[in-house]
């Protein structure tokens, strides 16, 4: 069983990549959460990759694998969603007609401001990259897992939206009655587009979850589960 435990990181990683391939080739490409069939595979892939990174072997003899992982990182096409501000392949004309009148800024501001950097740091690839660097540097599986989960919790918490609103002074008129129609995962679970004040509650709930994850004895739980299943 010790041999199986040694390769669990690879098993979790392969499963995450397979689910990613399924989403890439067999599901619709949309940012909107229109069904659990689209949302759950994405969430499952993120969780599986968290386990893969947390259990990655950090002995020196295995570090050659890092070079292989870097190849994947640089060969994967540049992520269209590197920043929400980039709006994928929206032409400059459309951006100027729709967004500049609303925000009063040029496209360059949207791609260089602080909130953009914050959003970029929350992309799963960055979260897992930071966690992997920590793990390879000698970090424990428990703490690596907490880094992954903490990043994903903040990723889904909508905190980046509040950074955006604060910097550009938008939609903060009391009592925050503006509708947030672009927060697709929240809209799906509420059954409607949330109000801005409801996003405050949503974000606060995720911050509580963030604290709970970081005080939880994940290492002890993981060891107990491994003993029960015999790995």
Give, in degrees to the nearest 5, the angle at Cα 146 between 144 and 148: 75
Q: pLDDT per position in the chain (231 positions), as tens?
A: 556 778 888 888 889 888 878 877 777 666 666 677 777 888 888 899 899 989 888 765 555 556 556 545 544 433 433 444 444 445 556 556 555 555 555 555 555 555 555 555 567 878 888 888 888 888 888 989 998 888 888 888 888 777 666 665 555 555 555 777 777 788 877 888 887 778 888 889 999 999 999 999 988 898 888 788 777
Q: What is the model's pLDDT at position 83?
A: 43
Q: Which residues contact 141 (CB under 8 A, 6 or more apart)?
A: 54, 55, 135, 219, 222
Cα 190 from Cα 10, distance rounded (Å) = 36
**Residue 5 tokens, joined:** 């435990």
User: Cα separation of 165 and 62, whole Å?
Assistant: 44
Q: Looking at residue 195, what DSSP letter applies?
A: B
């Amino acid at each position: 069983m010790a041999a199986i435990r040694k390769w669990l990181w690879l098993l979790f990683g392969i499963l995450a990549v397979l689910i990613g391939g399924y989403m890439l080739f067999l599901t619709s490409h949309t940012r909107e959460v229109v069904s659990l069939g689209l949302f759950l595979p994405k969430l499952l892939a993120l969780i599986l990759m968290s386990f893969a990174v947390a259990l990655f072997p950090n002995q020196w003899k295995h570090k050659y694998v890092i070079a292989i992982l870097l190849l994947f990182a640089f060969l994967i096409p540049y992520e269209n969603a590197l920043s929400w501000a980039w709006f994928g392949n929206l032409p400059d004309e459309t951006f100027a007609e729709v967004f500049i009148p609303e925000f009063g800024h040029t496209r360059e501001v949207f791609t260089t401001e602080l909130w953009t950097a914050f959003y970029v740091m929350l992309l799963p690839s960055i979260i897992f990259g930071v966690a992997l660097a920590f793990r390879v540097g000698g970090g424990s599986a428990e703490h690596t897992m907490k880094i992954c989960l903490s990043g994903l919790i903040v990723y889904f918490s909508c905190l980046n939206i509040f950074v955006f609103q604060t910097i550009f002074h938008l939609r903060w008129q009391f009592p925050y009655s503006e509708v947030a129609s672009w927060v697709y995962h929240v809209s799906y679970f509420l059954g409607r587009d949330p109000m801005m004040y409801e996003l405050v509650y949503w974000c606060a709930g995720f911050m509580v979850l963030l604290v709970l994850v970081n005080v939880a004895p994940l290492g002890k739980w993981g060891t107990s589960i491994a003993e029960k299943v015999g790995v």
